[in-house]
Structure 1
Amino acid sequence: MDILVTYDIATDKKSDARRLKKVADLCAEYGTRVQYSVFECRVTPASLARLRAELEDTIDWNRDTITLYRFHGSINDAKTILGVALDYQTGNPWIL
């Protein structure tokens, strides 16, 4: 299944940068960065559950927001790009 992961990690404190990097690194393990805080991912139900659990363990629940959008078809069928398109293709789910 294709998902879109978006996040807004609070970074008002110097120590918050580590949490922001961890969230970005986790998302990069599962998909492709298409904007600074946006990743397109092709996942299995099991890998989605792992990603969600890892993100839940990482964020500050009182200050951060992560939104996961699930697509019932291909994410490529659901998107329209205006301007410069990135050169990448969402591939098959990764078995982790």
Structure 2
Amino acid sequence: MELLITYDVDTTTPAGQRRLRRVAKACEGIGHRVQKSVFEVVCDPVQRLRLEAALTDLIDPATDSIRIYQLDRGTFSAARHLGAAIDARHHEPLII
């Protein structure tokens, strides 16, 4: 499945800055960063559940927001990039 993950973490406190780094690290472990707070992820249902559980544990639900969009397969390859966009290679091994 293909997921688009966006997040907005309140960074007005040191704790919020730590949460932001942890959320980004969790997303980097499974997907490709395409913008500062946007990741494209290709995963299976079990990986999605694990990622959602990890992200739920990392955020403060009173101040932070994460949106996960499930997209049709092939959406990433059909995306149009304008400007300084990266070419995320979704179906190649992800090296961390």
Q: TM-score range by the shorter chain?
A: 0.7 to 0.9
Decide whether the 8 Å contact of 1:42 with 1:92 is kept in 2. no
Deviation at 1:86, TM superposition (A): 1.0
User: Does the C-alpha gap of structure 1 residues 41 and 93 become closer, same or farther in structure 2, counting only changes over 3 Å?
Assistant: farther
Give the 5 Å matches for 1:1-96.
Answer: 1-91=1-91
CA distance in 2, matches of 1:46, 1:93: 18
User: Does the C-alpha gap of structure 1 residues 93 and 67 become closer, same or farther in structure 2, counting only changes over 3 Å?
Assistant: farther
Identity of aligned pairs, percent? 39
CA distance in 2, matches of 1:76, 1:13: 35
Number of aligned pairs?
A: 94
Deviation at 1:92, TM superposition (A): 5.9
> What are the ranges of 5 or more consecutive residues in structure 1 without an aligned counterpart?
none
CA distance in 1, matches of 2:89, 2:55: 24
Decide whether the 8 Å contact of 2:34 with 2:88 is kept in 1. no
CA distance in 1, matches of 2:72, 2:3: 9
> What are the ranges of 5 or more consecutive residues in structure 2 without an aligned counterpart?
none
TM-score (norm 1): 0.88
CA distance in 2, matches of 1:24, 1:58: 10
Deviation at 1:80, TM superposition (A): 1.8
User: Does the C-alpha gap of structure 1 residues 59 and 66 become closer, same or farther in structure 2, counting only changes over 3 Å?
Assistant: same
